[in-house]
Amino acid sequence: MALNVDQWRGKVKESLPATHYKLIINPPVGGGGEIEIRTESASMPGVSFLSVDNFSPYGNGKMYNIPYRYNPQEVTMLHTMDNKADIYKTYRDWANEIVDLEPDSKFGAKYLKDYTVDFTLIVYNRQGEIAKQIVFIEAYPIVVEPVSLSWGSHDELAKLSVNYRFTSFIVSP
């Protein structure tokens, strides 16, 4: 069967673009309040499992890998920095809420409930309607990458790459 270009174009119009989304987050620091972060790239979460590998129910014969628990995979998002680098400070303050960064601190790690937040990634279809909302439950930054600055990059924007961990996620509608 030959490729019908008109049918293919019709299918492309029905596909989900990778460029229509926004991230809404309420960090536990920085004055409170929900912010819409300018995010250059985002990831919808995947699913993986912890498993018992090479399980043989009868001691020999056919072996199975049997999943027994959901293993949330961290996601990476690349945020565009604002004019005053306030987002950089927000994430530094958030990191300080996770583990004390001050050199004279007597206490280390803090309680999970005090630094996790739920945040939402909204994905839109080509018509501008909400295709899916992904709510990351009990999320926090696990890695805040260094920000690269360079004299040779005069037209580039400064970007902050953040890896997030979370306990679960909800996809709706």
Q: What is the pLDDT of residues 1-55, one digit of tens each?
A: 677 777 776 666 678 888 999 999 999 987 666 778 889 999 999 999 999 998 8
Tokens for 107? 């206490």
First to last CA, the chain: 36
What predicted TM-score, i.e. pTM, was given to this entire model?
A: 0.83
Average pLDDT of the segment spanning 110-125:
94
Asked whether residue 1 is assigned to any structural domain, the reply reads no
Asked whether residue 8 is assigned to any structural domain, the reply reads no
CATH code of residue 78? 2.30.110
CA distance 36 to 28: 14
Residue 134 is part of which domain span? 15-46+72-172
Asked whether residue 105 is assigned to any structural domain, the reply reads yes
Asked whether residue 67 is assigned to any structural domain, the reply reads no
Compare 73 and 1 and report the one with higher pLDDT: 73
Asked whether residue 23 is assigned to any structural domain, the reply reads yes
Asked whether residue 162 is assigned to any structural domain, the reply reads yes
Asked whether residue 120 is assigned to any structural domain, the reply reads yes
141-161 pLDDT per residue, tens: 999 999 999 888 788 899 999
Identify whether the C-beta of residue 162 lies closer than 8 Å to the C-beta of residue 143.
yes
* Residue 56: per-residue pLDDT: 87
Return phi, psi of residue 22, to 5°: -150, 155
Asked whether residue 58 is assigned to any structural domain, the reply reads no
